Amino acid sequence: MTVMGTPVVRLEGREKVTGAARYAAEYKDVGGSLAYAVIVGATVPAGRVVDVDRASALALPGVLDVLWYGNAPALGDPGDGELQVLQSDAVSYRGQIVAVVVADTLEQAQDAASAVDVTYESRQCDNELREHHPGIYAPEQVNAGFDTDVVKGEPEARFDASPVRVDVRYTTPAEHNAPMEPHATIASWSEDRSTLTVWDSTQAPSGVAGDLAELFHLEPGRVRVVAEHVGGGFGSKGSTRPNAVVAVMASSVVGRPVSFPVPRRSTFDFVGYRTPTIQRIRLSADHDGSMTALLHDSLQQTSTVMEFVEQTSEGSRHVYDVADVSTTHRAVALDVGTPRWMRAPGECPGMFGLECAVDELAYALGMDPIELRLRNEPSVDPADGQAYTSRTVRRVFDEGARRFGWAERDPRPGIRRVGRTLVGTGVAMATYPAMTSPSTARATARGDGTVDVAIAASDIGTGARTVLAQIAADALGVSLDRVHIHVGDSSLPTAPGAGGSSGTSSWGWAVTKACRALVADGDPAAGASVLADTADDLEERAERARQAFGAHFAEVHVDVDTGEVRVNRMLGVFSVGRVLNPRLARSQLMGGMIFGLGMAVMEEGIVDRRHGGFLNADLAEYHVPVDADVRDIEAIWVDEDDDDLNPMGSKGIGEIGNVGSAAAIANAVYHACGVRVRDLPIRLDTLVEKMDPALRQ
C-alpha cells in the first residue's frame, strides 16, 4: 500500500472552507474573560521616549492598564532584541512599540491608544542603504551560520585577465511577507501563574514556547503554544515575534487572558521584512563560454536593535564550475526595524542578481543562455568539492526548453512583436539547499486499529498535516483513514519550525521512524507508543551536497507606448527528489513562482527617509500579485530518486519556486525591448525612458 506520491486532498480543507478552522485570534474559550491589547507605535524615526502621559487613556471606559517602559515587567533575554518590548526608553525606528493599552474590548483599547500622549526626544534618522555608507562592516557570519566571505583561487586577477567580462550592479528593495493572516496572539496564565498557554500565529510552536519561557522566567515545559491553523507566514512567523511578548506581558499585568491581533499596518513595522540589497557581480569567461571568475559582493541593511544579515551571495558558491570565486557580505546598521526571513532569504535576491548577470554574460559572448549555464555545470559542489546526492540541472533545462519552445526563440532583443506589444522570453536557474533538522515524533496505537501520530510541526497553509499523514500511512502499512495526525502544539513532541524548506524532510523522518518502530514486531497492542528522535540519524549521515534545482522560463509582453509589463507565460521545471503529494507540490511551486512575479514587477517597501517607517504600509499601496496578474503558469518536475536525503527521498519545495523566477522575468523584459533593468521592481517609467524610440515607430 502506497499513499505517498498520490494527490491527496488537504485533510483540513473542509474545516477551512466552512469556517470551522480556528486561527490564533479566533479562540474564545481561553480560561477567562478575554481582554484586548493595542500598541502605540513610535511617531519619531529615532530618539528616545521622555514621558508617557497615560491619564486620559486610563480615564476611558473599559481601560485596564497602559504599559510603557516605566512600568513594564522585566524580561529575560533569548537573544532577539526585537523581543525586548518596553524594556528601555530607546526608539530605534518609527513604529516601534512604545506603549501597550489593555482594555475590555478591542474598540476600547483602540480608542484609548489614541489618547496616550508620548513625549519624545527625537534625533535625525539614518535609514537609507547606500554603497558608501561610513558604517558598513563585515559581520562575523550571515544568516544560517554561513561564512561572511569565501575566496577561492585568485578571482580578481583572473577576472581582469579574461577576454569577456561583465561588471554589473543590481539592487532589490525591501519586501514584505504579507501573509493572508496577520500576526496574532492570545495569552492566558493559570490561576497560580505557574503555567502559560498561548495561541499564536507561528511557524514554530516549539521555538516560541522556549523563547516565552526564557522571557517570562518560567521553567521549560511550563509554556504551551497552540498553532493549529496558520494563515501563511513566508518566514515572518518563523520565530517569536513581538506580538507574542505583548500579549503575554499584558496578560501577566491585568490578570486576564489577552488577545493581541496585529493590525495589517503594524505588520510593516515590527515583524520583519526582506532586506534591500545592493549587489555587485563580476563574471568573466573565455570565448568558448567557460567561466573563469565569479565575484559576488552584497550589501544589505540591518538594525540597531539586532543584527540580521542575509546570505545573499552564498548561493553563488554552489552553482557554476568556476575555479576562481569570491563571495562577500557587508551590512550597515540603520534606524529601521530588523529585517527577518522572507521566503528563500538570501538565495532569492542573490540569485536574481547572479542569474541576470549570467544572461548579460551570455549576450556578451553571443551564446544561448541555457548553453552557457550547461557548459559550466559542475560535477561536485564548487564550494567544497563534496559529491552531490543528486544534481539533474541538465534534465530540468532540457525538459523546460522543450515544453517552452525555446528552440524557436530569436535571441535578438526587440524583434518579436504583436501590434504595439513587444514579446520577449527569458530563463534563469534555481537552486536551494535540501536541509533537514533533528526532530521528534510519537506514534501511539489505538484500540480500534488506528494510530495517533503527534509532532509539534506547524501547518502554515502548505498542507503539512496531509503530507505527514501520508508518510505515516506508508510507514505503518495502513490506509490513510487509519492515521490520526496531530500538529500545531508545543506540548507534542518537539519539532523544528516550518522554514528553510526543511519541514517535511525533518518532520517526515521522525514520523517515519516512529511509525516503523511501532509496527516492527507486527500489530501493536492498544496503547503501545514509540517516541522517535532523529538527532543521531542526522549525525550519522555522510557529508554530501544536498540541493534542489530548477529552471524558470518566462514570456513577457511590454507595451511600447506605456512600458506596461505583462507576464504572459511562466514555466518552472524542478528537481526536488520524490514528490510526496503532487497536488500540494504544484501549489507550493506555483506559489513561489508567483512570489517571483511580484518581486519582479510590483513589490517595493518605500521608506520615508525624513520621518521613518514605510509609506506604503498596507495592501492598497504595497502591491502583491492577484489572480488577474497571473496568466499561463505551470510547474512540473522531473523524476528523481535520491535515497541519501531522508527515508522519503524528498527535498523541500516551499522556496525554490521563487528563487530565480524574478530573474527569468527581468531577462525576458530585456529580450522584449532591449532595456536591461537592474533595479527591482521593473518600472514603467524606466522602460519608457530607456527604450529605443525606433521600437515605437
Statement: residue 228 has pLDDT above 70: yes
Statement: residue 1 has pLDDT above 80: no
Q: What is the CATH number of the domain that holds 117?
A: 3.90.1170.50
pLDDT bucket at 69, cuts 50 / 70 / 90: very high
Q: Is residue 43 part of a domain?
A: yes
For 173-185, how does the pLDDT look when each residue is reduced to its tens digit (9 = 90+)? 999 999 999 999 9
* pLDDT value at residue 486: 99
Q: Is residue 33 part of a domain?
A: yes
Distances (CA, A) of 385 to 377, 424, 489, 538: 13, 37, 41, 21
For 389-418, how does the pLDDT look when each residue is reduced to its tens digit (9 = 90+)? 999 999 999 999 999 999 999 999 999 999
Question: In this prediction, what percent of the chain has a pLDDT beyond 90?
Answer: 99
406 shares its domain with 526? no
- Return all residues near 266 (Cβ < 8 A) that are at least 6 apart: 39, 41, 95
Task: In whole angstroms, give the CA distance from residue 340 to residue 303.
Answer: 10
440 shares its domain with 525? yes
- Given 540, 565, 589, which residue is the final one in a domain? 540
For 310-326, how does the pLDDT look when each residue is reduced to its tens digit (9 = 90+)? 999 999 999 999 999 99
Tell me the pairing of strands 35-41 and 97-103: antiparallel
Domain total in the chain = 3
Helix or strand (DSSP H, E) at 638: none
H helix count then E strand count, the chain = 15, 26
Q: What is the mean pLDDT of residues 456-480?
A: 98
Task: In whole angstroms, give the CA distance from residue 574 to residue 403.
Answer: 13
Nearest to 422 by CA among 627, 596, 675: 675
Q: Is residue 442 part of a domain?
A: yes
Q: What is the mean pLDDT of the chain?
A: 98
Q: Can 399 be counted among the known catalytic residues?
A: no
- Return all residues near 14 (Cβ < 8 A) that are at least 6 apart: 20
What type of residue is 604?
E
500 shares its domain with 575? no
* pLDDT value at residue 643: 87
Distance of CA 328 to the CA centre of its chain: 22
513 shares its domain with 582? no
492 shares its domain with 622? no
Statement: residue 535 has pLDDT above 90: yes
Distances (CA, A) of 384 to 161, 290, 323, 366, 387: 25, 20, 12, 31, 9
Q: Is residue 357 part of a domain?
A: no
* pLDDT value at residue 641: 86
Q: What is the mean pLDDT of residues 71-92?
A: 98
CA dihedral 22, 624, 269, 432 (to 10 degrees): 80
Task: In whole angstroms, give the CA distance from residue 270 to residue 338.
Answer: 7
Place of cell 559542489: 381
Q: Is residue 344 part of a domain?
A: no
235 in Cβ contact with 65 (< 8 Å): no
Task: In whole angstroms, give the CA distance from residue 593 to residue 589.
Answer: 6
* pLDDT value at residue 216: 98
Nine-digit cell string for 613: 517607517
202 shares its domain with 80? yes
477 shares its domain with 512? yes
* pLDDT value at residue 697: 84
Task: In whole angstroms, give the CA distance from residue 52 to residue 623.
Answer: 35
Q: Is residue 133 part of a domain?
A: no
Strand partners, 118: 52
Q: What is the mean pLDDT of residues 73-82?
A: 98
Q: Is residue 662 part of a domain?
A: yes
Q: What is the mean pLDDT of residues 201-205?
A: 99
Question: In this prediction, what percent of the chain has a pLDDT beyond 70?
Answer: 100
Q: What is the mean pLDDT of residues 428-448?
A: 98
Helix or strand (DSSP H, E) at 401: helix 393-404
430 shares its domain with 443? no
428 shares its domain with 486? no
586 shares its domain with 443? no
Of the candidates 12, 314, 360, 655, the residue annotated as catalytic is: 655
* pLDDT value at residue 158: 99
For 560-596, how does the pLDDT look when each residue is reduced to its tens digit (9 = 90+)? 999 999 999 999 999 999 999 999 999 999 999 999 9
For 602-611, how does the pLDDT look when each residue is reduced to its tens digit (9 = 90+)? 999 999 999 9
CA dihedral 138, 142, 146, 151 (to 10 degrees): -30
Q: What is the CATH number of the domain that holds 515?
A: 3.30.365.10
440 shares its domain with 528? yes
Residue 174's region, left for phi above 0, alpha for psi from -120 to 50, else beta, is beta
Q: Is residue 672 part of a domain?
A: yes
Residue 29: how many other CB atoms lie within 10 Å: 9
260 shares its domain with 111? yes
Strand partners, 496: none
Statement: residue 465 has pLDDT above 80: yes
- Given 489, 523, 540, which residue is the final one in a domain? 540
Statement: residue 130 has pLDDT above 90: yes
- Domain with 645 in it: 388-434+546-697
- Given 540, 560, 575, which residue is the final one in a domain? 540
- 347-365 helix and 582-601 helix, angle to the nearest 10 degrees: 70
- Return all residues near 521 (Cβ < 8 A) that are at least 6 apart: none
Helix or strand (DSSP H, E) at 47: strand 47-53
